[in-house]
């Protein structure tokens, strides 16, 4: 590992978590807003995935959406993770709509998808991980105010 890689690996990161009953979105972003990881995982695999990410990244905070299953998941994170993290809840209203737009920014439409009006395009895969990215961004924006 070279010096710059070692330095980068020591920079604090934030884990965004969009909890759901069946699947969860997870993202890891640096304080500089550099995105290191994003993935949708089954809800049954979320704790193990977070533990693995905590071994790879210096996660200083978990940002979680404040809707449907947030309270249950917050308790689960505090009790089931080897070292309970600091957790902050963020307003997640309208993030699903924002995530759909962000999906098409990250992965521009190809082929016939390009011909569809923006509002009619549906991402071909779950976008819970993009919601997790947006949660981190909302948290960082709140800090900047």
The dihedral over CA atoms of 139, 140, 144, 145, expressed in degrees to the nearest 10, equals -20
Name the helix (H) or strand (E) containing 132.
Answer: helix 128-144
- At 30, list the tokens: 């640096």
Q: What distance lies between CA 67 and its chain's CA centroid?
A: 15
> What is the pLDDT, as a whole number, of residue 69?
85
What distance in Å separates the CA atoms of residue 143 and residue 122, rounded to the nearest whole number? Answer: 32
Q: Is the pTM of this model over 0.85?
A: yes
Q: What residue spans define the domains of the chain?
A: 3-144
Q: What distance lies between CA 108 and its chain's CA centroid?
A: 20
In three-state secondary structure terms, 121 is: coil
- In tens, the pLDDT along 113-125 reads 888 888 888 899 9
CB 46 within 8 A of CB 62: no
CATH code reported for the domain at 3-144? 3.30.420.140
- In tens, the pLDDT along 88-106 reads 999 999 999 999 999 999 9
> What is the pLDDT, as a whole number, of residue 143?
87
Sites in the chain below the pLDDT cut of 70: 1-10
- Angle, helices 128-144 vs 95-106, to 10°: value is 110
Within 25-107, residue ranges assigned H as helices are 46-56, 70-80, 95-106
CB 49 within 8 A of CB 57: no
């Amino acid at each position: 590992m070279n010096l710059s890689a070692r330095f980068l690996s020591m920079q604090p990161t934030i884990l965004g978590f969009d909890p759901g009953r069946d699947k969860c979105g997870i993202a890891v972003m640096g304080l500089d807003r550099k995105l290191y990881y994003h993935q949708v995982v089954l809800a049954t695999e979320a704790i193990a995935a977070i533990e693995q990410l905590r071994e790879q990244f210096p996660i200083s905070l978990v940002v979680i959406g404040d809707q449907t299953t947030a309270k249950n998941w917050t308790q689960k994170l505090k009790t089931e993770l080897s070292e309970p993290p600091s957790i902050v809840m963020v307003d997640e209203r309208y993030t699903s709509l924002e995530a759909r737009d962000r999906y098409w920014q990250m992965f521009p439409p190809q082929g016939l998808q390009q011909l569809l009006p923006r509002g009619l395009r549906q991402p071909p895969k779950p976008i819970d991980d993009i919601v997790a990215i947006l949660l981190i961004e909302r948290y960082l924006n709140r800090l900047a105010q």
